[in-house]
Structure 1
Amino acid sequence: MATNPQTRRTAAENWFDSRGLPYFVDSTRATVRTRLGHRRLVVLGGVAAVFAAVAGGATAYWNDDLSVAVLAAMLASVVPLVAYALRALYAGPVARWAVGRTFSSLGLLLPLVTRALPLLLLFVTFLFINTEVWQVASSLDDGVLWVAVLLFALVAVAFLLVRLPEELDRVDDGMTGEGLIAACAGTPLAEDAVECAARYDDAVLIARAQVSGLAKANLVLVLLISQALQVLLLSVAMFLFFVVFGCVAINAEVVTAWLGTPPHPFLDAVPALTHELVRVSTFLAAFSGLYFTVYAVSDETYRTQFFGSLMKQLHRSVGVRTVYRCLADG
């Protein structure tokens, strides 16, 4: 070959970074494992608690709304965690990949809406014209509303973290010699894959392909981000639908009859757009996102359609990682 093994390993490492998989790199994974030590995590937790206390206390001092203070504390506690992840845990490649994935996911909006939106509309529209839903959502303060939205998001993430590792079992299984060569085609280690497949039998290759520890966490994170972006796109579509539908179909007299008080305009230029309508639309859009999350990982047809291309990419990444490990053995 024209290049030495170390040069090809470096090319593979750059290839991993470009796909949001920095923990597939041996040196990065070793450094991160050290920086996730118990003592450092305790210090990081303490710093996050200080940020939360300061932000929550300051917000409570300037604003009497306790829910806003709680929301500010929750958001502030994330700041040091994100900063540490980006700087010390090499999350930069994941963040860059996520930004690129966000723009590329816009192309999924139309097929996503045409497949998932009708099912959600049948289920959620009845809630939208329900008096009790309007009474509950419109009575929420802004802080409480966004805490509820974050709660829906956390429940959805927790559900995904339980189910997504099951999807990974399909990625690293069946990495035989032929599968390895096919997975690495068009990658920096395509030629090395042929040598690796010839050197080891299928049982060894399948064992080497198994992903665990930080590398598996990296794959789960990639799946989580991809699914979260789809849920976000659908939730935004639902929010826009409810806002437009509410402006057209639900007038001020109906809202007054439901709530007992006249609605408050959100924009003076658009009288039909009220604070109550925005709150209800936000609440139901967040709930729709949670519902869609459960549906997305449970419906086999949806998983085949929308997970198919992503799973092929992950299968290729696992194949390149297998060859990368073979190069490390010389």
Structure 2
Amino acid sequence: MTGDRTAVEAWFLAHGLPYFVAEERAAARAGLRPRRLVSLAVVVLVLAALAGLLAWASDAYAVGPALWLSITVLALIWYASTALRARPILAFALSRTLGSVRFLVPMASRALPLLLVFVTFLFVNAEAWQMTTNLPFGLLWFTVLLMFGLAVLFLLVRLPEEVDRVDDEVDDDFVVRACAGTPLEEASREVAADPGIDPRAHAQVSGFERWNLILVLLVIQTVQVLLLSVTVFVFFMLFGSLVMQVDTQLAWTGAKTVGEVPFLSSVSLSLVKVSLFLASFSGFYFTVSAVTDDTYRRDFFRVVESQLERAVGMRTVYLAARERR
């Protein structure tokens, strides 16, 4: 094998692929042992009980489910980043997304106009203001987390198709192109030139490595959706603070007061609630549209397409070169 194993594994770790390294994969597998998962469940249950007691003591019962769900999500992220060795996945995916904001501009310019036209009709609707204003903030936050969870679940169902599509395209030209500029560049040319090695025999990604690719895609696409949702939230906050006068809000909500956000006299709590709800709804709507509609699908996956091909190509050459050696 021409490429140095240490350099290749360091490349895998730097590019958010820890499960492509045998030692990291074994450590993650150990983190999924029943004994350790039971310990995690006990910690989550204790924190959930404390959250319930806090909600009960403050007479804000609606806060309980939202607080419990938030704690559970944070605990799972913490456990994944430590015991399951997923920290490189999170770090690379976040840096990749934030470093590729320029690719989000064409996607946003195509998706946002129609989305905003559609959601603005809900924004200038009295029923939407009544519903969100009457919701306790804890229950509203639970609804936001629920929509976010549905979007993540939808991505988990569809993203494996992208992995399957890429590893089905592997051939000699694919591995040479994918490994250009990597520690396996020379090895990829040797593998492609060897008639006794078929790269497709090592192309299928399964197990932990397949989930590694899916998680990288999931984090990157989730951050994209969050950025788009934040954009919608900021738009409605600015738009609402300009056109939605207090008298109009009181007439639509039927409340005696809409509440004022400290230090922002032009912004009401009702405006924050309806903007937050519509932003979360927009994120879910955009996720479904971007994955199912070919018009947005290409832009949505542009940020990760080359990285996915490179990861599959590197793994194929890594395994093929080991066999050749």
Please confirm whether the aligned pair reaches a TM-score higher than 0.5, indicating the same fold: yes
CA distance in 1, matches of 2:72, 2:298: 37
Cα 1:99–1:309 shift into 2, 3 Å: closer
Partners of 1:143 and 1:266 in 2: how far apart?
18
Equivalent residue in structure 1 for 2:183, among 185, 188, 202: 188
Say whether residues 1:284 and 2:274 are aligned partners: no
Deviations along 1:191-226, one digit per CA (max 9) or x if unpaired, are: 011122233557x31131111111111111111111
Q: Deviations over 1:216-237 (max 9, x none)?
A: 1111111111111111111111
2:118 matched to 1:119? no
1:25 paired with 2:43, answer no
Inter-CA distance 272–116: structure 2 relative to 1 (3 Å threshold): same
1:155-234 equivalences in 2 (<5 Å): 155-199=150-194, 204-234=198-228
Q: Which has the higher contact order (CA 8 A, sep 6+)?
A: 2
Identity in percent: 48
Q: For the Cα contact (< 8 Å) 2:230–2:279, is it kept in 1? A: yes
| Contact kept in structure 2, 1:242 and 1:281, CA below 8 Å | yes
1:272 and 2:261 matched? no
Superposition TM-score, scaled by structure 1 size = 0.91
Q: For residues 103 and 308 of structure 1, do their structure 2 counterparts lie closer, same or farther at Cα, with a shift above 3 Å needed?
A: closer
Is the 8 Å Cα contact of residues 252 and 262 (structure 1) preserved in structure 2?
no
Specify the SS of the correspondent of 1:81: helix
The equivalent position to 2:307 in structure 1, one of 309, 313, 318, is 313
- Equivalent residue runs for 1:79-118 within 5 Å: 79-118=74-113
CA RMSD of aligned residues (A): 2.0
Give, as a single letter, the amino acid of the residue that structure 1 aligns with 2:117: L
Return the letter of the residue paired with 1:257.
A
Which ranges of structure 2 fall in alignment gaps of 5 or more residues?
A: none
Bigger shift: 290-299 or 38-47?
Answer: 38-47
Contact 1:32 1:90 in 2 (8 A): yes
The verdict on how the C-alpha distance between 1:277 and 1:321 changes in structure 2, with shifts beyond 3 A counting, is same
Cα 1:73–1:175 change in 2 (3 A) is: same
How far did residue 309 of structure 1 move? 4.3
Q: In the alignment, is the contact (CA less than 8 A) between 2:213 and 2:308 conserved in 1?
A: yes
Q: Which residue of the other structure, out of 229, 247, 250, is the alignment partner of 2:241?
A: 247
1:154 maps to which residue?
149
The whole-number CA distance in structure 2 between the counterparts of 1:8 and 1:247 is 59
2:26 equivalent to 1:52: no
Residues 201, 257 of structure 1: CA spacing in aligned structure 2 closer, same or farther, 3 A cutoff? farther
Aligned residue number for residue 324 of structure 1: 318
Tell me the SS of whatever aligns to 1:96: helix
Matched, 1:8 2:34: no
Q: Which moved more, 1:108-117 or 1:164-173?
A: 108-117
Contact 1:134 1:258 in 2 (8 A): yes
Shift of 1:156: 0.4
Consecutive unaligned residues in structure 1, runs of 5 or more: none
| Corresponding residue SS for 1:66 | coil
What's the counterpart of residue 68 of structure 1? 63
SS at match of 2:219: helix
Q: With structure 2 as the length reference, what TM-score do the two structures score?
A: 0.93
Shift in CA distance, 280/44, structure 1 to aligned 2, threshold 3 Å: same
Tell me, in whole angstroms, the C-alpha distance in 2 between the residues paired with 1:234 and 1:287.
11
Task: Quote the Cα distance in structure 2 between the aligned partners of 1:257 and 1:70.
Answer: 31
Q: Deviations over 1:173-197 (max 9, x none)?
A: 1211121111111111000111222
